[in-house]
Structure formats: structure tokens, C-alpha cells
Amino acid sequence: MKKRGVGYASIFYGTGYGNGFPDESRATAEITPEGMIIIYVGVADVGCGAISIMWQIAVEALGIDKELVSLKYDNTSLIRDSGTGAASRQTYNTGNAVLDACSKLRENMKSAINGEDNLSIEDSKLGVIYLQMIRKNIDTRVEGYFKAATSEINLETGQGDPYWPYSFGVQRVTVEVDDETGKVDIINVFTVNDAGKMVNPVLAEGQAQGGCAMGIGYAIMEEIQLNKGDIKNRSFSNYIIPTSKDVPKIETFFVEDIEKSGPYGAKGLGEPVMIPTAPAIINAIYDAVGVRIHDLPATCDKVLLAIRNKTMHFK
């Protein structure tokens, strides 16, 4: 018989490396003689949309036509270190560095044309502004920098500020468990995240849904099998991940609680979106059939064994 259950889980997650580890990002903004703005930033886009996010932040900070702004991000001979594409830090950390660089460049551009023919950045060609900056000996290339606020935890007192800021999330998952086979089907997922201002809502929604899909795999199917340290299931034929048939409708919601220290109020989103999924699924299994799975993934054999042990215990 198939039985349904509902489970909830909530989390908070610190952005960045944390625990006092130096968490720095750098970016460079430059106006060219051709009338373009180039942003040099070491950002790796591993599916999180970071390149688009950096470009959007730059365009907003500069206040100019988006077609005049381009990013260079894949040549380490041109760009400075912005840290890794990890720890849900790129939008917050590197975004702040881009914002810093572009804000400085805009101020330089404003200084170059101040009071001359009532020109403004919005109605002037950037080539004209560039020439004025050269004539007035104003920097046409500026550096942006940001370092996250983090301190190491005192192991004796437990005091310290290992992370800032924190992102939050909660999920509700409905499952259907077959008590004759132990098979778990995910019926639907509702996910709510607070990652500050959504710089790109479409990317954020996709990231939240992708995180839930990863959480489903972690909860009920993905398992590394070892034999004396050697991985036995090395391919997708025996290392099972969710397919489109395993991922249900995922409804995403965002609470945009503005983070004042973030670029335009943004915080980290990458990892927090997947963390609540597995515990919510495990809670839903318990709600459906009354067994608690402590060893992930909750595969059919584990769930069925737990159900049978529970039945024998009550006999």
C-alpha cells in the first residue's frame, strides 16, 4: 500500500569561507578609448549564473547602456584573484568587488566631465569622457576590493563571528512510500529561500530547483559504493542520479530580506537551496510510514527493512 507523508526542514547557512579564513575578492574596471567599459573579474560560472550576475551589478553601478559593458573573466594573465567559485560566496564577495570598482570608475568619469557643456555620463559618449579623463590625468582603470567579515571561533569559549551574512531556507516535501517495496516517490516540493535581493530572479529560481533535485538524489538514491577504498559504481549506469521522471513540480519562493552589506542587498544562494531537501524527505518518510532513516540514501531496501523491523517490534 502506498502511503503519503509530509516533511519540513529549515536551515541557515553562512556565506563564504568562514572561521577567519581570508575571504577576499578583487575586480578591475576600465574605460577604453573606443568608449567601452571592461570589467576584469576572476569569476568561474559553474552553473550558478555568476558571469551574468557580475555583469548586471556592473551595469547598475555604472548607470550606462548595458551594451557598453563587457566582462573578461577567463584569462588569468589579465584578472586578479577573486577567490573560488565555492562557499556560496561569488554574488556577495565578488559582486561587492565589482560594485566597488564600478562605483570608483563612475566617480572618476563624473569628475572628468563635471561642469563642461552640462555633459553627463548618461548623455555623453564614453569616448569623449575617456579623452577628458586623459586630459585631466584621471585614472581610467581602477581596482575594486572586498573582504568578508569573519573571525575564527575561540574553541575555549565558543565565541566569534565565523560567517557573515547568513542565508536561510525552509522546504516542505510530500512523498509517497510503498510499504510493500520501500520505494519512495517525491510528489512535490515547496522551497522558500532568503538570499537577500535576487539580482537575477530567473537564475535564482533555476538554482533553487536544481538544488532541490540534487537534494533528492542525496536523500534517496545517490550512494558511493567502496571496496577497500576503490569506488565500485563509477558510471551513471550504477551510480544513480535523479532524472526528469524523479523530480516533481518544485514551487519556489523568495523572501528578499535586504542585506545591507551585500551588492544591492544580495547574499549567497548556491548551497543553501539543497540543504533542507534531504531532511525534509526523511521527515516525510517518517510521517508516511513511521520509520526513521538514519543512513542515507533512503533506498528501497533500507526503507523496507526499517518497515519490517518496526512491524516485528510491534508483534
Give the per-residue pLDDT at 119. Answer: 65
DSSP 8-state code for residue 67: G
Would you say residue 23 has pLDDT above 80? yes
Strand partners, 24: 147
Structural domains of the chain sorted by starting position, each given as residue range(s) with its CATH number in brackets: 2-15+164-314 (3.30.365.10), 24-147 (3.30.365.10)
Map grid coordinates 556577495 to a residue. 92
Nearest to 66, CA basis, from 45, 37, 95: 37
The answer to whether 291 touches 30, Cβ cutoff 8 Å, is: no
Give the per-residue pLDDT at 307. Answer: 93
29 or 46, greater pLDDT: 29
Angle between the N-to-C axes of helices 201-220 and 277-289, in degrees from 0 to 180, rounded to the nearest 10: 50
86 or 38, greater pLDDT: 38
Q: Is 152 designated active site?
A: no
Amino acid of residue 142: V
- Give the confidence band of 115 by pLDDT, cuts at 50, 70, 90: low
- Render pLDDT for 218-270 as a digit per residue (tens, 0 to 9): 999 999 999 999 999 999 899 999 999 999 999 999 999 999 999 999 999 99
* Residue 120 DSSP SS3: coil
Would you say residue 86 has pLDDT above 80? yes
Tell me the residue ranges of DSSP E strands in the chain: 2-14, 24-31, 37-41, 69-72, 141-147, 166-178, 184-194, 226-227, 230-231, 249-254
The answer to whether 194 touches 167, Cβ cutoff 8 Å, is: yes
The structure's pTM equals 0.91
The mean pLDDT value for 209-217 works out to 96
Sign (positive/negative) of CA torsion 75, 76, 80, 82? positive
